[in-house]
């Protein structure tokens, strides 16, 4: 038996709780989902739940950190697929956002959604959101270094804003147009700032 599997071949209990929470938080909103809903979905006792996540805030932080890891892995996969060519990485990321926004149950960016529910910038949830956004901006800045962009920080802010708009647009608008629109808008920003 590996450390990542239980006796029945299922993921460990912590992962099962986290998976159920991620599904419910994203579909229904973080504050709308009680510990009891998660406990019922996983089919466990309160004692088991609280043994793994003593507070709901710890569970929310774990949910967002898990999503952040997924996004870092996706960006790294794009970089590998593009052989490090920044313009190609941006295209792959735009296509990924477009594909995600067309997926069933898409409700926008989990980080934007969490920030909307937790206004206090000092709250642990907001700190995870802010750390992820700082990572994403730094990653964009790093990719912009080799593209002849005059103001890397400002350009990264503009591209991050486009990404945020694409995530909201994919939820509220026609998601089929997101990838192309995001890529074209990003190219315009890069052209303007080069």
pLDDT string in tens for the chain (194-residue length): 344 445 567 789 999 999 999 999 999 999 999 999 999 999 999 999 999 999 999 999 999 999 999 999 999 999 999 998 998 999 999 889 888 888 888 999 999 999 999 999 999 999 999 999 999 999 999 999 988 898 999 999 999 999 999 988 888 878 778 888 888 999 899 999 88
Q: How far apart are CA 171 and CA 182, in angstroms?
A: 14
Q: How far apart are CA 74 and CA 85, in angstroms?
A: 15
* Closest to 178 in 3D by CA, of 186, 167, 188: 167
Same domain, 10 and 93: no
Do the beta carbons of residue 96 and residue 53 sit within 8 Å? Answer: no
Q: How far apart are CA 109 and CA 64, in angstroms?
A: 11
* CATH code where residue 18 lies: 1.10.10.60
Same domain, 141 and 46: no
* Closest to 27 in 3D by CA, of 103, 84, 95: 103
Last residue of a domain, one of 9, 36, 54: 54
Chain segment 7-60, per-residue pLDDT in tens: 567 789 999 999 999 999 999 999 999 999 999 999 999 999 999 999 999 999
Question: Torsions phi, psi of 174, nearest 5?
Answer: -90, 105
Supply the range of the domain harboring residue 125: 56-192
Q: Which residue has the tokens 């962009």?
A: 149
- CA 28 to chain centroid: 16
Last residue of a domain, one of 34, 54, 74: 54
């Amino acid at each position: 038996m590996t450390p990542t599997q239980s006796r029945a071949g299922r993921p460990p209990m912590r992962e099962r709780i986290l998976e159920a929470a991620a599904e419910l938080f994203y579909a229904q909103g973080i504050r709308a989902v009680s510990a009891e809903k998660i406990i019922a979905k996983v089919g466990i006792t309160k004692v088991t739940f609280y043994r793994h996540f003593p507070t709901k805030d710890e569970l929310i932080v774990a949910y967002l950190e898990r999503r952040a890891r997924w996004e870092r892995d996706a960006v790294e996969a794009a970089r590998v697929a593009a052989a490090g060519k920044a313009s190609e990485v941006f295209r792959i990321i735009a296509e990924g956002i477009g594909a995600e926004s067309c997926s069933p149950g898409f409700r926008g960016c989990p980080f934007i959604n969490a920030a909307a529910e937790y206004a206090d910038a000092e709250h642990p949830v907001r700190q995870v959101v802010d750390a992820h956004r700082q990572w994403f901006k730094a990653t964009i800045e790093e990719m912009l270094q080799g593209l002849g962009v005059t103001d890397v920080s400002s350009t990264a802010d503009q591209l991050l804003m486009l990404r945020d708009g694409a995530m909201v647009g994919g939820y509220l608008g026609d998601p089929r147009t997101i990838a192309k629109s995001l890529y074209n808008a990003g190219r315009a920003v890069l052209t303007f700032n080069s």
